[in-house]
Structure 1
Amino acid sequence: MAPRTAEGLTGLELEEFARTVALDRLTDRDRSRSDLAGAMAKKGVPEEVAVVVLDRLEAAGLIDDERFARMWVESRQRVKGLARPALAVELRRHGIDDELARMVLDDQVRDEDEREVARRLVRGRISRLRGLDAQVQVRRLASLLARKGYPSSMAFEVVREELAADIEHSE
């Protein structure tokens, strides 16, 4: 049976354990180097051993922070409807440096796409708010977009446009 922590391991056993921890985490999806380092630290792998193992995995192409960031942005924008600021916070939480995050976000998140995602979010929620006071609808829909990281100016503009379109369609 495989050990649960690095306690008592030395030398090659320790490196093999660290490698196994990283590869286990990589089986279901890409991970950032920082995420893998954190997983190793939780298992008691010394930092100097983790660095050696992570360098090897990176050289082999199994760890790639840019690939991870691109995958993360695409997925979180599509599934959760997150805007650029919220995506940047999540990337930072995964240890992606600000320069790489900015590059990936500039490359993958276009203003018109972001606006369309905001519209889709509002359209998906608007039917549940029918019958409520107009100000309550605006406040709740704008709050939804704010929680997803959309700038308030865009949020209120999209909400007003979608509420007007909804009224027009229901007449």
Structure 2
Amino acid sequence: MARKILLDALTGQARSRKELADKLAKKDVPAELATRLLDRFTEVGLIDDEAFARSWIASRQPGKGLARRALAQELRRKGVDDEVAKEALDEIDPDDEEQAARQLVRKKLRSLRNVDRTVATRRLAGMLARKGYPAGMAFAVVRSELDDHGFGEGDDPGDAGDGFH
């Protein structure tokens, strides 16, 4: 029965060892049996937190535009060891991360045509912050994209000394 729970959980999508352990605990599988099964599934390669972390990043970074920090938080919630997560996150190309931020800004720009540059900057930088982008990168990308699209020429909040650097 416990083996079937694990196999069913692994069908269609990889899962972290912690997610599977939680699923077994929720189904009242005795801890000793759960540990033995999880160890065996790990031994034969059905559970692999390193592969899970790489796969999770590959699906979430381009699709959702999430930055390293947000991905690290998600992996931590999934129970992936910080060192395993760090190794997988180190594989993200910084240029890809910046390009993802630019794509998010370009997409959002369409809905901000009726606001001034200060408001647009604040909203775009806030969106990138929620996606886990560092402030420096977020504001650099936002300024660059606003300039490239001729958006609301005028004072930029980053130049106004209001703490947006």
Partner deviation per Cα, 1:63-122 (whole Å, 9 max, x = no partner): 111110000011110111100011111111111111111111112x12111111100110
2:53 corresponding residue in structure 1: 69
Q: Does 1:99 align with 2:83?
A: yes
1:90 corresponding residue in structure 2: 74
Given candidates 130, 149, 153, the residue that maps to 1:166 is: 149
Shift of 1:30: 0.6
Shift of 1:19: 0.9
2:26 corresponding residue in structure 1: 42
Partner deviation per Cα, 1:2-52 (whole Å, 9 max, x = no partner): xxxxxxxxxxxxxxx111111111011111111100111111112111101
Q: Map 1:42-61 to 2 at 5 A.
A: 42-61=26-45
Structure 2 gaps, min length 5: 152-165
Q: Does 1:155 align with 2:155?
A: no
1:132 corresponding residue in structure 2: 115
Q: Does 1:29 align with 2:25?
A: no
When the two structures are superposed, what TM-score results if normalisation uses the length of structure 1? Answer: 0.86
Structure number with the higher helix fraction is 1
Shift of 1:59: 1.5
1:7 corresponding residue in structure 2: none
Whole-angstrom CA distance in 2 between matches of 1:58 and 1:34: 12
Q: What is the root-mean-square deviation in Å for CA atoms of aligned residues?
A: 1.0
2:102 corresponding residue in structure 1: 119
When the two structures are superposed, what TM-score results if normalisation uses the length of structure 2? Answer: 0.89
1:3 corresponding residue in structure 2: none
Structure 1 segments of 4 or more deviating over 6 A? none
Whole-angstrom CA distance in 2 between matches of 1:46 and 1:38: 12
Given candidates 138, 145, 164, the residue that maps to 2:128 is: 145
1:8 corresponding residue in structure 2: none
1:10 corresponding residue in structure 2: none
Aligned residue type for 1:73: I
